[in-house]
Amino acid sequence: MDEDIERLREYALLISNLLHDLRTPLGSIAGGASVLDQYSDKLDEAAKSRICDGIMEQTRRLDSLFTALAALARARTGTLQREARSVELNELLRGLWAVDPNSGGSPGDTSLSREEVFLFTDPAVIRVLLTSMLGLAAFFAPGNGRPALSLALDGETVTIAIESATRDDGHIRLRKMLEGRGPGAMTHPEPKADAISLAAILEVVHSLGGEFDILHDEAGRRLRQTVSLKTTDNPDRAG
């Protein structure tokens, strides 16, 4: 009972602290739409394009944040893998990367496994994982950042990695985020979208029984996220 009460308190504090992070992109979207509505006839095409790009960027930010929050809620209530089945990871990642990159820039290089890789999971779980990892990358990426996705198979372990560039002014925040990583990170007085994405990644990876690692090369301005999971031997066994 005490544990349930404490969890409710954490959620209440989290939701309260997230209002600012939600209002910021909503304000930007509303502002951009208002400018287009009132001054569209007076704006040149370049200005319209910049405003539309800003609206889309903030929309992606909101989508990433809501996806991460949904993942947290579902993982903590044990409903994250309702539709678990055997899926081929190369095909799944290729499709997700093509239609829903949800990153700060266009998708970059993709290096997938030459062998088929099967996991027993809900495909939506991998979507949440990829979206959260890309959301974290996008938070620190420069405007033209192009994250790179790779998939490697070593025995019974598959590793999904996303590598991305980081802004020159992002390393301090990134260092603080990594130093503050832990059980209390989500209830920090001023949680940011990066902390939400990181928490979602950790929850999803935990639900899959895997491991997550994140490396920040401050000198090279690079961020590398890796998730290691145990594969399913074959689809028949998984079913």
d(CA 228, CA 206): 11
- pLDDT at residue 131 is higher than 90: no
**Per-residue model confidence (pLDDT) at position 97:** 75
**Per-residue model confidence (pLDDT) at position 130:** 84
Q: What are phi and psi of 154, to 5 degrees?
A: -135, 100
Q: Dihedral angle at the C-alpha atoms of 28, 34, 36, 42, nearest 10 degrees?
A: -120
Instruction: State the first-to-last Cα distance of the chain, in angstroms, to the nearest integer.
Output: 37
- pLDDT at residue 237 is higher than 50: no
Residues 6 or more apart whose CB falls under 8 angstroms from that of 129 comprise 160, 201, 204, 205, 208, 227
**Per-residue model confidence (pLDDT) at position 159:** 94
**Per-residue model confidence (pLDDT) at position 123:** 82
d(CA 121, CA 100): 19
Per-residue pLDDT tens over the stretch 150-191: 999 898 899 999 999 888 877 777 777 777 654 444 444 444
Per-residue pLDDT tens over the stretch 65-113: 776 666 666 666 666 666 678 888 888 888 777 755 444 444 567 888 8
Per-residue pLDDT tens over the stretch 185-211: 444 444 466 777 787 788 788 878 899
d(CA 212, CA 8): 26
**Per-residue model confidence (pLDDT) at position 103:** 42
Per-residue pLDDT tens over the stretch 4-19: 566 556 555 555 556 6
**Per-residue model confidence (pLDDT) at position 187:** 42
d(CA 220, CA 218): 6
